[in-house]
């Protein structure tokens, strides 16, 4: 088992996420309809028990609010999903002999008021894509991640904030996909996605092969997953953020498909030694450092 020392498992990084979480909480607290959301996020990770181990790195025990807009809990969810993937690779070592690509599928930007409809349309298009002969020939399974970002556009001298929903897809593909007559280019991916979207324009698509073997390939798979689930550190403008949060409420952000869904279903859920759930021995053998969040300094301080 690879003991993955996740980037950002430091008190300094958690402090950065806590500051972002306070900004997010402030957005929710500014709206009378979302006061509970704001209070819930504001209480997240206020007091930490910090464990450090040479083999396992640093990890924290605390109360997490589990709100989908909380940067701290987004980070925590990313760690847990990476841990799940580690267990999957441990229990199915043949996966590291397969071919993988990291595919990003985009659509044209939309207004935030149309975000939900756009993502639902993308979901329908993705289902159509999976039913195409092209997909069935080349893709065995994978994981799809939804990401939504914002950007400023200038139109007629006026600045406005645009919304950019897109999919990151971690795909197990046939070995022939990168060789000979079966080679699949980015242009072919874009054309297939365009037809699935039923769009009049050619969407921007990025396809990157995750080349390597064993530990090298494992690291790339985990890195792609972590990138796809990265927490937002820079908080968006309040009006856009609240509108986007309303639009995305209840939509699934991570979904497995194909044989990866079956592999996850059959996964032995017992925590493996290097997973973030497998720290009981360290908790018993080490005395933690206790830190609390200090609003005046904007950082964690030891008790």
The structural domains of the chain, with segments of one domain joined by +, span 11-302
Residue 283 reports pLDDT greater than 90 = no
pLDDT band at 180 (very low <50, low <70, confident <90, very high): low
Question: What is the DSSP secondary-structure string of 167-230?
Answer: EEEEEEE-GGGGSGGG---HHHHHHHHHHHHT-SS---EEEEE----HHHHHHHHHHHHHHHTP
Q: Average pLDDT for residues 257-283, to the nearest whole number? A: 68
Of the chain, the percentage scoring pLDDT greater than 70 comes to 84
Residue with the bigger pLDDT between 160 and 105: it is 105
Residue whose C-alpha is closest to residue 145's, from 196, 74, 93, 212: 74
C-beta neighbour count of 153 within 10 angstroms: 10
Opening angle at CA 96, ends 271 and 84, nearest 5: 25
Please, which residues have CB within 8 angstroms of residue 274's CB and are 6 or more apart in sequence? 1, 2, 3, 4, 56, 86
pLDDT above 70 for 288: yes
- Counting every residue, how long is the chain? 303
122-146 pLDDT tens trace: 999 999 999 999 999 999 999 999 9
Q: What is the pLDDT of residues 16-67, one digit of tens each?
A: 999 999 999 999 999 999 999 999 999 999 999 887 765 556 778 899 999 9
Cα separation of 226 and 103, whole Å? 14
- State the Cα–Cα distance between residues 26 and 5, nearest whole angstrom: 32
Q: Are 162 and 151 in contact (CB under 8 A)?
A: yes
Residue 4 has a pLDDT of 37
Contact 57, 215 (CB under 8 A): no
Q: How confident is the model at residue 181 (pLDDT cuts 50, 70, 90)?
A: low
- State pLDDT tens for residues 246-255: 999 999 999 9
Q: Provide the pLDDT for residue 56.
A: 58
Higher pLDDT, 12 or 118: 118
Between CA 197 and CA 213 the distance in angstroms is 34
What confidence category does residue 12 fall into, taking pLDDT thresholds of 50, 70 and 90?
confident
Q: Which segment of 55-64, 80-89, 281-290 scores lowest on mean pLDDT?
A: 281-290
262/140 Cα distance (integer angstroms): 11
Distances (CA, A) of 295 to 15, 63, 76, 90, 300: 11, 17, 22, 42, 9
Strand order in the sheet with 205-209: 205-209, 99-106, 158-173, 139-155, 254-258
What is the C-alpha separation between 116 and 113, in angstroms, rounded?
8
Q: Are 199 and 107 in contact (CB under 8 A)?
A: yes
């Amino acid at each position: 088992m690879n003991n993955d020392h996740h980037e950002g498992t430091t008190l300094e990084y958690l402090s950065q996420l806590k500051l972002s979480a306070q900004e997010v909480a402030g957005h929710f607290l500014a709206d009378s309809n979302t006061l509970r959301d704001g209070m819930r996020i504001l209480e997240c990770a206020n007091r930490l028990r910090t464990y450090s181990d040479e083999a396992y790195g640093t990890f924290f025990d605390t109360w997490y609010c589990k709100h989908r807009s909380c940067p701290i809990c987004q980070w925590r969810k990313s760690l847990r999903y990476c841990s799940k993937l580690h267990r999957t690779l441990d229990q199915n070592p043949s996966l590291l002999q397969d071919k993988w690509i990291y595919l990003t599928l985009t659509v044209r930007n939309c207004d935030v008021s149309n975000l939900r409809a756009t993502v639902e349309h993308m979901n329908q298009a993705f289902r159509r894509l999976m039913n195409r002969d092209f997909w069935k020939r080349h893709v065995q399974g994978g994981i799809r991640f939804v990401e939504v970002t914002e950007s400023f556009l200038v139109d007629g001298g006026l600045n406005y904030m645009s919304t950019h929903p897109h999919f990151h897809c971690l795909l197990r593909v046939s070995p022939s996909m990168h060789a000979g007559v079966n080679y699949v280019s980015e242009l072919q991916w874009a054309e297939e996605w365009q037809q699935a979207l039923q769009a009049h324009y050619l969407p921007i698509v990025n396809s990157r092969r995750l080349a390597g073997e064993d530990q090298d390939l494992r690291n790339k798979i985990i890195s792609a997953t972590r990138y796809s689930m990265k927490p937002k550190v820079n908080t968006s403008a309040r009006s856009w953020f609240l509108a986007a949060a309303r639009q995305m409420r209840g939509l699934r952000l991570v979904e497995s498909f194909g044989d990866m869904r079956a592999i996850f279903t059959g996964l032995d859920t017992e925590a493996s030694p290097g997973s973030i759930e497998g720290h009981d021995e360290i908790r018993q053998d080490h005395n933690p450092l206790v830190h609390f969040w200090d609003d005046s300094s904007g950082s964690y301080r030891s008790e």
